[in-house]
Amino acid sequence: MDDEALAYERFAVSYAAPAAAALDGVSLRVARGEMVAVLGATGAGKSTLLKCANRLVPTLRRAELRGTLRVLGRPVDGLAVHDLADRVGFVFQDFEAQLFSTSVEEEVLFGLEQLGVDPGAMAERIRRALDSVGLAGFERRDPATLSGGEKQRLAIGAVLALEPELWLLDEPSTDLDPAGRRELFALLGRLRAKRGTLVVVEHDTEAMADADRWVVLDRGRVALAGRPPELLERPDELAALGVRPPDLAVVCRRFGVPAWPLDVERVAERLGALGRRLRAAPNAAAESAGEVVLEARSLRFAYEDQDRPALDGVDFTLRRTEFVALVGANGSGKSTLARRIAGLLDGGSGEVRWRGRPLGALAAGERAAAVGYVFQNPDEQIFAATVGEEIAFGPRQMGCAPEEVWARVRAVIEAVGLGGLEERDPFLLGKGERQKVAVASILALRPAVLILDEPTTGLDFAEQRALMDVLESLHAAGQTIVIITHVPWVVGRYARRGVLLREGRVRFDGAVAELFADEALCREADFVPPEIARLGNRLGAAAVDVERFLAAWE
């Protein structure tokens, strides 16, 4: 048992309210020094599995626990959260719930003080932790002023300073850009090399390909478990369990070649050896859309606490019925541009015009009918007691007659797939459903342009597809859509035009296939095209998603 870090034996968890079995007879052993990825759809029991290991469940949420659980060789029965705090580190899925201090330095300092670390060692621990997560120089910043990705890294850094033996990470890469994700997984690799033990809940199978094992949960039970090379040969089973299989694994399975090692160059060699070729993929070109509806010229904007401008002379034109993806690293200016063209951000210089008129000259009702904005966190947007009332609020404020209000509510509920939930409390819904409520509440205003900031963040694969399919249907019906996203496969599968920003400037604006083909430019801007696009580039034809790649293979 000396090499045992974590052991569940016929372990079951049932919550009191709402009554539900979150885990059902799980048996799982994690050895010291292992990195285990826990995969599965939303509601599969992944977070509960982690929270029991540091006693957050049942301490903070009432639950009945059955079976046996040992942490670092010690049975957890009767232990409190603080009994494990010096040896078990936890990074929450909702990282903002983990932050509360008024400066970055104090956030990291707090845990060290609670553990009674020698004051003389604290400064060095803080320095090392912040340097490891890319936040050196941020010591005096208020966490509230950080971007989502920076907050995520701060939450990880605060735990890193505690030097735990066992790491429990609940979707730690949720809000990170590609560069941040690379840094995070490199950090996890270094921790593992030092014999750290890591249990990571994650949706990104490509990022977790180097884990020692994958454990896939389904409705509280272990449905699949094994080494990545084994499970990558079963992409259809992974997809059926709500796990997005890597595109390379799907392609390899289709053509009967090994998926491991999961590497673009090697897969290209294996496919090339088949003696077939990739013809020009039927990628959608940047659309020849309708008339210009929105035009931004020479936009400049700077936040008071930042040295570099968030926008530095940006020009942007949007035509009716386009589907545009704004991409780039955290801090590149994507959200600032989106909020500026939505009329949610004043100040700076330059102008935004809506159908030839200054956006600022539009009355509130006109602006709401022009551009609708869905925030990254739906909980920042939702406030009503029921789903129906949430969606009805906007049309009421626009002065719609009662019959028109509820006609709009019914229409958007059907459009986004929320039928039967009209009387439900939106805060009791899952993240994917809350995201749909936020989208529906804006759609009820019938804006000509719909802007969504990171719409797939925190959603599992099935939820991501469901939400993006809704947007695709809306686009097919004539809706103009702009999304901000860090998820390359979403860009390839759904967007037609890509706008790449770096340091507040537009570096590329054109067809998504052309963006993915310029890997050097993408690297320079810390954006990584999806693996399927990079595979297509090596085989001589651009492909923006796996379906189009397979259709192009002869």
C-alpha count within 13 angstroms, C-beta hemisphere, residue 120: 0
Phi, psi values for residue 38, rounded to 5°: -105, 120
Q: Which two tokens stand for residue 107?
A: 């956030």
C-alpha count within 13 angstroms, C-beta hemisphere, residue 260: 11
Rounded to 10 degrees, the C-alpha dihedral 267/272/273/275 comes to 150
Give the Cβ contact number of residue 310 at 10 Å: 25
Helix (H) or strand (E) holding 75: strand 74-75
From residue 152, alpha-carbon distances to 30, 54, 139, 172, 205 in Å are 25, 20, 15, 7, 20
How far from the centroid of its chain's Cα atoms is residue 196's Cα? Answer: 25
Phi, psi values for residue 147, rounded to 5°: -70, 170
Q: Which residues contact 479 (CB under 8 A, 6 or more apart)?
A: 321, 450, 471
End-to-end CA distance of the chain: 54
- Ranges of H-type helices in 194-292: 228-231, 235-240, 247-255, 264-272
| Whole-number Å distance between alpha carbons of 543 and 363 | 44
Q: Is 67 left (phi over 0), alpha (psi -120 to 50) or beta?
A: left
Q: Which two tokens stand for residue 168?
A: 């429990």
Q: In what order do the strands lie in the sheet with 20-31?
A: 20-31, 4-15, 63-71, 74-75
C-alpha count within 13 angstroms, C-beta hemisphere, residue 249: 22
501, 553 in Cβ contact below 8 A? no
Query: What's the pLDDT at 552?
Result: 82
At 240 the three-state DSSP class reads helix
- The reported pTM is 0.88
Which one, of 242, 199, 194, 200, lies nearest residue 217 by Cα? 242
How far from the centroid of its chain's Cα atoms is residue 336's Cα? Answer: 19
56, 88 in Cβ contact below 8 A? no
| Whole-number Å distance between alpha carbons of 276 and 408 | 52
Question: Which domains, from first to last, does the chain contain?
Answer: 4-238 (3.40.50.300), 246-276 (no CATH), 292-377+447-552 (3.40.50.300)
| Whole-number Å distance between alpha carbons of 395 and 385 | 17
Q: Which two tokens stand for residue 88?
A: 């078990």
Signed CA dihedral, 169, 174, 179, 181: sign only:
positive
216, 225 in Cβ contact below 8 A? yes
Q: Which two tokens stand for residue 372?
A: 């609708």
Q: What is the mean pLDDT of each successive set of 10 residues along the chain, which is 554 residues long?
A: 89 82 94 96 92 94 94 93 93 86 96 94 96 92 84 92 95 82 86 90 91 96 96 94 94 91 93 79 59 96 86 97 95 94 93 95 91 90 95 94 95 90 89 89 94 88 89 93 95 96 97 95 93 92 87 76
Cis peptide before 258 (omega within 30 of 0): no
Q: Which residues contact 190 (CB under 8 A, 6 or more apart)?
A: none
Q: Which two tokens stand for residue 511?
A: 């067809």
90, 159 in Cβ contact below 8 A? yes
Query: What's the pLDDT at 198?
Result: 97
How far from the centroid of its chain's Cα atoms is residue 263's Cα? Answer: 23
| Whole-number Å distance between alpha carbons of 413 and 417 | 6
| Whole-number Å distance between alpha carbons of 100 and 142 | 10
The length of the chain in residues reads 554
Locus of tokens 């199978």? 205
| Whole-number Å distance between alpha carbons of 313 and 263 | 39
Q: Which two tokens stand for residue 334?
A: 């994507």
CA 197-198-201 angle, to 5 degrees, is 160
Helix (H) or strand (E) holding 372: strand 371-374
Q: Which residues contact 137 (CB under 8 A, 6 or more apart)?
A: none
497, 324 in Cβ contact below 8 A? yes
81, 59 in Cβ contact below 8 A? yes
| Whole-number Å distance between alpha carbons of 470 and 479 | 11
| Whole-number Å distance between alpha carbons of 487 and 494 | 11
Query: What's the pLDDT at 257?
Result: 92
438, 381 in Cβ contact below 8 A? yes
| DSSP conformation class of 117 | -
Query: What's the pLDDT at 122?
Result: 96
